Amino acid sequence: MTNDLMTNDPMTNMEQHRITKAIRTQTERTNEMEHSTPMFLTSSFVFDNAEELRAAFDDESDDNIYTRFSNPGVQEFVDKMVALEGAGAGFATASGMSAVFGSFMALLKKGDHLLSCNSIFGSTHTVISKYLPRYGIEFSYIPATATHHEWEAAIRPNTKMIYLETPTNPGLDIIDIEMVSKISKKHQVILNVDNCFATPLIQRPIEFGADLVIHSATKWIDGQGRVLGGVIVGDTALIKEIYLFNRSTGPALSPFNAWVLSKSLETLDVRMERHAKNALEIADTLEGHEKLAFVKYPFLPSHPQYLIAKKQMSTGGGIVCFELKGGLESGMKFLDNLKMLSLTANLGDTRSIASHPASTTHAKLTEAERQAVNITPGLIRISVGLEYVDDILNDIMQALEAC
């Protein structure tokens, strides 16, 4: 246990590991003396007098006013994520995409420029390329594999934010966060990192210089495919701007979803350890298979950015990608022949999931755009679950044999 993984608990005046904080952080107990945090299913909160109400609306107190603004259960979830990521503050939203959009719109204005890695989630690409220009916000893409010189050359005088995913979705490219953060700080640009694939148990971008970290909590944070949620953590001043934007525009996280996600964080560590263990075994076994052009996993030595992954990640995570030699036809046939793995528009579940990005999550990209981010016709993404690893492998192998 290292000091950088420790935080001080004001309730016990003891230093605690961040994983412990994710388990023990709770809202103040009610008079019922419950051990597990209750759900605060209320739209509004009451005050004892007019002066307290005035002070709350004038931001002179932290009292809850309205659940669109804040809610005790939502704040508990945020506090846990702040502790896990080592952030100053955070704000939770209704979904991962509302977190992405809120982080853009709260901090960018007409005439600003957003620089993004080109390998990103399909809906994020739609927001950046279709909707940001409607507000006069410029954007440009840079390959996820770009060098230091290429990243710096892509900065414009009006660049206000760099946005990146690492590992990228779905191609599992790894971007050196520390390298990009040095460029962002030199040019006084906000570095905004989507850490969804890794989770704070595997990678903490703030430790490498990121200003903001985003999660679709729908994925590994929930871990069981039950609820939607998003969260943004990072620099306190930036989070305040994001809070004010989202407070007015309304993408609030449901108190019920927050309760589910907060409880999920209590098992995130043990779940991610098993996901990563299963994923590495599957990647090792599949590498070199006669029907595959390649297998990609951050902790395989054959991964092009293996050394970067080892530097900034503690494990390779729970996603494995591979390319079928037969292209689109083989990709569809592979999915159709799976007997156990689920075919669904999600990842990060206890149950293993297979997807074909070219025909689903990234179907709205042009063929040229897909090729630019290495989304080939035969690319398969496996979200490795918690099942017995031999059962996962057996299903993948028999589906490969049918291709």
Up-side HSE of residue 338: CA atoms within 13 Å toward CB? 21
Residues 108 and 161 in one domain: yes
Six-digit token string for 60: 């002179």
Give the 3-state secondary structure of residue 38: coil
Domain identity same for 307 and 213: no
- Provide the residue range defining the domain that includes 317: 268-401
% of residues, the chain, pLDDT over 90: 83
Q: What is the DSSP letter of 314?
A: S
Q: Provide the pLDDT for residue 372.
A: 74
Distance CA 334, CA 187 (A): 47
Cβ-in-10-Å burial (0-12, 13-18, 19+) of 49 comes to exposed
- Please give the pLDDT value at position 367: 77
Rounded to whole angstroms, how far apart are CA atoms 243 and 160? 19
Give residue-wise pLDDT tens across range 167-183: 999 899 999 999 999 99
Mean pLDDT of the region 252-257: 98
Q: What is the mean pLDDT of residues 263-281?
A: 98
CATH code for position 374: 3.90.1150.10
What is the number of domains present in the chain? 2
Q: What is the pLDDT of residues 319-374, one digit of tens each?
A: 999 999 988 888 889 999 999 999 998 999 999 999 988 877 767 777 777 777 77
Query: What pLDDT is recorded for position 6?
Result: 38
The first and second tokens of residue 84, run together, are: 């896990």
> Is residue 7 predicted with pLDDT exceeding 50?
no
Look-up of token digits 């390998």: 119
Average pLDDT for 210-221? 98
Query: If DSSP codes are grouped into helix, strand and coil, which group holds residue 93?
Result: strand
Asked if the model's pLDDT at residue 11 lies above 80, the reply is no
Residue range 116-132, pLDDT digits in tens: 999 999 899 999 999 99
Looking at residue 13, its pLDDT comes to 55
Q: Are 236 and 88 in contact (CB under 8 A)?
A: yes
Q: Are 94 and 254 in contact (CB under 8 A)?
A: yes
Boundary (domain end) residue, out of 231, 248, 265? 265
Any idea what the CATH number is for the domain that residue 258 is in?
3.40.640.10
Q: Quick one: average pLDDT of 7-22?
A: 69
Please compute the mean of the pLDDT values over residues 53-75 and round it to a whole number: 94
107, 250: one domain: yes
- Give, in order, the Cα–Cα distances in Å from 18 to each of 106, 217, 268, 313, 388: 29, 18, 12, 16, 28
Judged on CB neighbours under 10 Å (0-12, 13-18, 19+), 150 is exposed
Q: Which two tokens stand for residue 267?
A: 């098992």
Residue 324's H or E segment, with its range, is strand 319-324
Residues paired with residue 50 on neighbouring β-strands, in sequence order: none
Task: Check pLDDT > 50 for residue 4.
Answer: no
Q: Is residue 247 part of a domain?
A: yes
4 domain-assigned: no
| Chain centre distance of CA 252 | 18
Q: Is the pLDDT of residue 12 over 90?
A: no
Q: Which of 265, 286, 317 is the last residue of a domain?
A: 265
Beta strand residue intervals within 101-223, DSSP E: 113-117, 138-142, 159-165, 190-194, 212-216
Mean pLDDT score of the chain, rounded to an integer? Answer: 93
Model confidence band, residue 1 (pLDDT cutoffs 50, 70, 90): very low
- The most distant pair of C-alpha atoms in the chain lies apart, rounded to whole Å, by 74
